Structure 1
Amino acid sequence: MALIILAHPAYETSVANKTVIEELLKSNLDLEIRNIHEMYPDYKIDVKAEQETLLRHQTIIFQYPFYWYNMPAILKHWFDLVFEYQFAYGSDGDKLKGKNFVPSFTVGSSESSYNVLGFQHFRIYEFCKNLEQTALFSQMNYIDPIYFHGTSLAAGYSAEEIRKYAKRHAEKLLYRLLELENRNKNPL
């Protein structure tokens, strides 16, 4: 069973992230989804409950919209509290060792904007180094992010286009999850 930490501050009005989650729920995979913005609107994270949930799963997917070149504030806050000393790191902090860390996010603007000559000036992977380091520091298996561009209605994309891209994204994510599940069943 995989765990999805959903961190979207306006999930009910989302087109992209909501479509991704809806598509994942149609699959036959056993998924647990924790909408942390809905669970903790006051940002008072139940650290022990979140840690216990993490311990039950081999694969953890972090699903969110890409905000200001990073994750939404609630997810950063969640990491700050849940990945604590002697749980995620430290001399006895190996509780997440060997678990899969899968970033899955949506990006509002176009792919062409995320390069040296584009108006964002950097590729998406360059903004993900903090995620990779978090996974490595907590001895998790960092899985390259799954993401797609063109999710902003404000940037001129239609809801129909966004849903089509989101369905493709969900297919890629499901494929990756099946791959990880098979790898866990049949390690080399």
Structure 2
Amino acid sequence: MALIILGHPDYKNSIANKTVIEALEKSSLPTEIRNIHDLYPDYKIDIKAEQEALLRHQTIVFQYPFFWYNMPAILKQWFDEVFAYQFAYGAKGDKLKGKNFVPSFTVGSSESSYSVLGSQHFRVYEFCKNLEQTALFAQMNYIDPIYFHGTSIAAGYTENDIKNNAEQHAQKLINRLAELE
């Protein structure tokens, strides 16, 4: 069973992330989905409950929208508090050792904008080094991110296009999770 840490600050109005989560829920894969924004709207994270959830699973997926070249604030705070000293790192901090760390996110703008000549100037993978280092520091197996571009209506994408791409993304994620189990 995979643990899905959903870090979307406006999930109810999401198209892409909601489509991905709904596809996971309909799939035959057993998952535990923790919508941390709904669980902790005041950002007061129950560290023990989150650590216990991590301990129950071999594969942990972090599902979120790519915000300002990073993760939303609630997910960053979740990492800051849950990946604690002597739990995720430190002399006795090996509780996540060998677990799979799977980033899965949506990117608002086009793929071409994430290039040296594009408006973002860097490829998406270049913004993921902090994720990779976090996984490595916690002795986890970093799995290359699964993501797709074009999830913003404000950037000119249609709801139908976003849903179709999110369904394809979800299938890639489901396939990856099946391989890891």
TM bracket, shorter-chain basis: over 0.9
Once residues 20 and 50 of structure 1 are traced to their aligned partners in structure 2, the CA distance between those partners, rounded to angstroms, is 22
Deviation above 2 Å: which 4+ runs of structure 1?
Answer: none
Normalising to structure 1: TM-score of the pair?
A: 0.96
Offset at residue 40 of structure 1 (A):
0.1
Secondary structure of the structure 2 residue equivalent to 1:64: strand
Residue 166 of structure 2 is matched in structure 1 by: 166
Residue 103 of structure 1 is matched in structure 2 by: 103
Segments of structure 2 that go 5 or more residues without pairing to the other structure are: none
Once residues 85 and 69 of structure 2 are traced to their aligned partners in structure 1, the CA distance between those partners, rounded to angstroms, is 26
Across the two proteins, how many residue pairs are aligned to each other? 181
1:78 equivalenced with 2:78 (yes/no): yes
Once residues 80 and 148 of structure 2 are traced to their aligned partners in structure 1, the CA distance between those partners, rounded to angstroms, is 26
Residue 156 of structure 1 is matched in structure 2 by: 156
Residue 68 of structure 2 is matched in structure 1 by: 68
Aligned-partner residue type, residue 132 of structure 1: E
Normalising to structure 2: TM-score of the pair?
A: 1.00
Alignment of 1:1-150 (within 5 A): 1-150=1-150
Secondary structure of the structure 2 residue equivalent to 1:111: coil
Segments of structure 1 that go 5 or more residues without pairing to the other structure are: 182-188
What do the CA deviations read for 1:153-184 (whole angstroms, capped 9, x no partner)? 00010000000000000000000001101xxx
Aligned-partner residue type, residue 73 of structure 1: A
Aligned-partner residue type, residue 80 of structure 2: D
Secondary structure of the structure 2 residue equivalent to 1:93: coil
C-alpha root-mean-square deviation of aligned residues, in Å? 0.3
Secondary structure of the structure 2 residue equivalent to 1:25: helix
What do the CA deviations read for 1:32-62 (whole angstroms, capped 9, x no partner)? 0000000000000000010001000000000
What percentage of residue pairs aligned between the two structures are identical?
78
Once residues 25 and 80 of structure 1 are traced to their aligned partners in structure 2, the CA distance between those partners, rounded to angstroms, is 28
Residue 185 of structure 1 is matched in structure 2 by: none
Offset at residue 22 of structure 1 (A):
0.5
Secondary structure of the structure 1 residue equivalent to 2:147: strand
